[in-house]
């Protein structure tokens, strides 16, 4: 570094200078990675599974008709949720409902266009892998200024897990399905 250069111009790896927006992005990503690696191994695994499921569901929603995606998701969740099934080792590490929902909510921040439907379908599959049954509900509400607004949420045992505590009151349910339904 030349003596005339400002101390704030020191380089960070990859040639990024500390006063650029790229340095801030680099440092932010490094903090996220550190935070990720501080998590217990079981939570890192759940989080990685949530990222993978969200990405697959998002792409599938773009490419496949909803009915086909629904059937595929139900079959996969049933197969993986079966505790006697040894073909899918994903169910060997059980986790709580709250941790599964947490993982999908955190992972959804990093998947583009991870809508409420994407999150509900991914969470249903993830919870199914853990042996936790859940139902996806899709409803609509009439908004005075915007017309119809659609929303998806996830329920298990009569309790809303994801999508807002008042979703069942605000939206009129149109469709509901569990992993075992066709």
pLDDT at 168: 84
**What are the two backbone dihedrals, phi and then psi, of residue 108, each rounded to the nearest 5 degrees?**
-65, -20
What domain range is 140 assigned to?
A: 41-178
Does residue 20 lie in a domain region? Answer: no
Does residue 70 lie in a domain region? Answer: yes
How far apart CA 19 and CA 1 sit, in angstroms, is: 15
Low-confidence ranges of the chain (pLDDT < 70): 1-29, 74, 77-94, 179-182
Does residue 47 lie in a domain region? Answer: yes
Domain count, the chain: 1
DSSP assignments along 86-129, one per residue: -S-GGGGS---HHHHHHHHHHHGGGSTT--HHHHHHHHHHHHHH
Map tokens 């309790």 to a residue. Answer: 159
Does residue 50 lie in a domain region? Answer: yes
pLDDT at 85: 43
Does residue 22 lie in a domain region? Answer: no
How far apart CA 86 and CA 108 sit, in angstroms, is: 29
Does residue 27 lie in a domain region? Answer: no
pLDDT at 82: 55
**What are the two backbone dihedrals, phi and then psi, of residue 116, each rounded to the nearest 5 degrees?**
-60, -35
Does residue 169 lie in a domain region? Answer: yes
């Amino acid at each position: 570094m030349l003596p005339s250069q400002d101390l704030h111009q020191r380089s960070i790896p990859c040639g990024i200078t500390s006063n650029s927006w790229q340095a801030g992005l680099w440092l932010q990503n490094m903090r996220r990675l550190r935070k990720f690696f501080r998590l217990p191994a079981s939570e890192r695994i759940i989080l990685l599974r949530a990222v993978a499921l969200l990405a697959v569901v998002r792409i599938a929603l773009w490419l496949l008709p909803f009915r086909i995606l629904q059937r595929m998701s139900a079959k996969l969740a049933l197969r993986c949720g079966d505790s006697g099934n040894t073909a899918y080792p994903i169910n060997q590490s059980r986790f709580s409902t709250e941790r599964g929902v947490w993982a999908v909510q955190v992972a959804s921040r990093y998947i583009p266009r991870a809508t409420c439907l994407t999150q509900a379908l991914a969470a249903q599959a993830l919870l199914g892998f853990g042996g936790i049954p859940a139902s996806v509900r899709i409803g609509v509400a009439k908004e005075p200024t915007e017309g119809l607004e659609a929303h998806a949420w996830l329920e298990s045992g009569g309790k809303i897990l994801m999508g807002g505590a008042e979703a069942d009151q605000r939206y009129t349910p149109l469709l509901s399905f569990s992993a075992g339904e066709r």
